[in-house]
A = this chain, B = another copy of it.
């Protein structure tokens, strides 16, 4: 597998967890608890481009990430989306949204400027997400943590 992550996804996010060949990454924007899933498969742009067994893994990991965001942040709504109009390589957004956040109730993409984390705030958010994922893990997901 000669997968290489898109340079924009790489610079905009940090790898937290890998499950089989699916990365869970935290986006460098403190305005939202915002994760992306990146399946490490070359030339894949939509979920339906993946083999069915990989689609099932994506679904399982997506449900796990959604539950973790709900438990950790108690958002008013989750936004889950595969868009890719700018960066075509498949990445699936998972964003915890709040009625008081910067762009509510609109979508977050392309609105305003991203707000970098301070290093301690980034470590805190990363820690909370990883701890929550670990607490919720059902064992068969074969997760490797980078925290």
Chain B CB within 8 A of A62 CB: yes
Q: How far is the CA of A78 from the CA of B81 in the complex (A)?
A: 11
A125 to chain B: which residues have CB within 8 Å?
none
The answer, among B59, B83, B109, for a CB contact under 8 Å with A59, is: B59
- Does A85 sit within 8 A of B, measured CB to CB? yes
Q: Please give the count of copies of this chain that the complex contains.
A: 2
Stretch at the interface among A7-15, A18-26, A31-39, A100-108: A100-108
> Which residues of A line the B interface, CB within 8 A?
45-48, 55-56, 59, 62-63, 66-67, 76-86, 88, 97, 104-107, 109-110
Chain B nearest CB from A23 CB (Å) reads 19
Contact A48 B62 (CB under 8 A): yes
Q: Is the CB of B110 within 8 A of A107?
A: yes
Interface pairs A-B: 4 shortest CB-CB:
A81-B81, A85-B105, A48-B63, A48-B66
